[in-house]
């Protein structure tokens, strides 16, 4: 792939081509990986960057210089830089301790341009189904102030907020949650258990109930796609589109209860139709059969034959 010219993408390409695979992991190790990803690595990266800012500030003779560095460390640009370094560090740690190299590359590309239509229909259908049903209850649960403040800080600069939400987050979260955690769990437990556990872990990583409920359901969809295709790029694209569609208007703002109920029914029906169209277009079951046949012909291990 041309992306190999950018070294940071090589682990993603290796995982997609099955030159890189997750080790077998249990539930406790999966939780440890989640803690590393969501808490330990980000904190360490930010600590190192803050020390670097302090060193630069101390090297400046004027108080104004030191003050400017302190202000810079609190800006949205510092958050973007921190996110990029966290992404690199996360991929390095996961590859170093929780992944193994394989000897065989998958012989074909796992997705094509026509899949984008199926992905959009599937994820849009999910967003509409959620918006017209569960969201009415979830919206009543207050978002923690710390999470709300974090969102406000991220989107001080809309461009940086979008880069973080639709590029960095999908790459990082899918690599860890689907490529390492779900992949590793599915080698030790049944696919259903691995899917549910990995989705619960994915939900808990968001550290708040409103987002966690949505993340659990999304995790089930993304995990199902990954188990059927073993395509990390496909799950990343689904995640990215979901984050884009998260900016859709919320119908809960309607004050007329009759209009709200009527619109909710329409939204749920439309969502169900789009969701079904998306699944049919992606044709995941037949794709899995075809992919498993290719793996068998290329002497792949039976661990890849995943059925749900």
Asked if residue 156 is part of any domain, the answer here is no
Asked if residue 11 is part of any domain, the answer here is no
pLDDT of residue 104: 83
Q: Does 74 score more than 80 pLDDT?
A: no
Q: In this predicted model, what pLDDT tens digit does every residue of 123-175 receive, in sequence order? A: 999 999 999 999 888 888 888 887 777 777 777 788 888 899 999 999 999 99
Q: Does 38 score more than 90 pLDDT?
A: yes
Q: In this predicted model, what pLDDT tens digit does every residue of 264-296 receive, in sequence order? A: 999 999 999 999 999 999 999 999 999 999 988
Q: How far apart are CA 241 and CA 160, in angstroms?
A: 17
Asked if residue 2 is part of any domain, the answer here is no
What is the per-residue burial (b if ≥16 Cβ within 10 Å, else e) of 161-188? bebbbbbbbbbbbbbbbbbbbbbbbbbe
pTM: 0.89
**209 phi/psi in degrees, rounded to 5:** -65, -45
The owner of tokens 């997609």 is 16
The secondary element (H helix, E strand) that includes residue 1 is none
Start-to-end CA span in the chain (Å): 30
Percentage of residues in the chain having pLDDT higher than 70: 89
pLDDT of residue 307: 39
Joined together, the tokens standing for residue 268 give 């749920």
Domain that includes residue 59, residue range: 17-142+173-304
- Per-residue CA distances from 240 to 94, 111, 162, 273, 280 (Å): 21, 16, 10, 21, 21
Give the number of domains in the chain.
1
Q: In this predicted model, what pLDDT tens digit does every residue of 87-135 receive, in sequence order? A: 999 999 999 999 999 988 898 999 888 899 999 999 999 999 999 999 8
pLDDT of residue 248: 80
Asked if residue 152 is part of any domain, the answer here is no
pLDDT of residue 65: 52
Asked if residue 7 is part of any domain, the answer here is no
Asked if residue 242 is part of any domain, the answer here is yes
Q: How far apart are CA 169 and CA 143, in angstroms?
A: 20
Residue 22's pLDDT band (boundaries 50, 70, 90)? very high
Residue 64's pLDDT band (boundaries 50, 70, 90)? low
Asked if residue 148 is part of any domain, the answer here is no
Percentage of residues in the chain having pLDDT higher than 90: 60
R_g over Cα of the chain: 21
What is the per-residue burial (b if ≥16 Cβ within 10 Å, else e) of 252-276? eeeeeeeebeeebeebbeebeebbe
Asked if residue 12 is part of any domain, the answer here is no
Residue 301's pLDDT band (boundaries 50, 70, 90)? very low
Q: Give how far the C-alpha of residue 239 lies from the chain's centroid of Cα atoms, to the nearest Å.
A: 5
């Amino acid at each position: 792939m041309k992306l190999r010219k950018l070294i940071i993408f090589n682990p993603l390409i290796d995982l997609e081509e099955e030159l890189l695979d997750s080790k077998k992991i249990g539930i406790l190790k999966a939780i440890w990986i989640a803690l590393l990803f969501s808490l330990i690595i980000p904190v360490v990266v930010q600590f190192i960057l803050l020390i670097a800012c302090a060193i630069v500030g101390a090297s400046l003779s004027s108080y104004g210089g030191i003050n400017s560095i302190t202000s810079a460390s609190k800006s949205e640009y510092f958050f973007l830089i921190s996110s990029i370094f966290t992404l690199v560090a996360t991929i390095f740690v996961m590859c170093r301790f929780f992944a193994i190299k394989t000897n065989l590359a998958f012989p074909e590309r796992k997705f094509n341009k026509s899949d984008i239509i199926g992905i959009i229909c599937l994820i849009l259908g999910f967003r509409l189904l959620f918006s017209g049903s569960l969201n009415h209850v979830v919206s009543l649960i207050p978002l923690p102030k710390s999470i709300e403040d974090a969102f406000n800080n991220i989107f001080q600069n809309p461009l940086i907020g979008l880069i973080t939400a639709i590029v960095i987050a999908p790459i990082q979260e899918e690599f860890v949650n689907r490529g390492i955690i779900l992949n590793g769990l599915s080698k030790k437990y049944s696919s259903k258990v691995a899917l549910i556990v990995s989705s619960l872990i994915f939900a808990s990583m968001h550290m708040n109930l409103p987002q966690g409920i949505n993340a659990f359901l999304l995790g089930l969809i993304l995990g199902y796609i990954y188990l059927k295709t073993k395509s990390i790029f496909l799950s990343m694209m689904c995640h990215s589109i979901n984050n884009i569609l998260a900016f859709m208007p919320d119908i809960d703002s309607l004050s007329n209860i009759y209009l709200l109920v009527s619109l909710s029914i329409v939204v749920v029906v439309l969502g169900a139709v789009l969701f079904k169209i998306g699944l049919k277009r992606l044709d995941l079951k037949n794709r899995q059969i075809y992919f498993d046949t290719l793996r068998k012909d290329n002497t792949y291990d039976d661990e890849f034959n995943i059925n749900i």
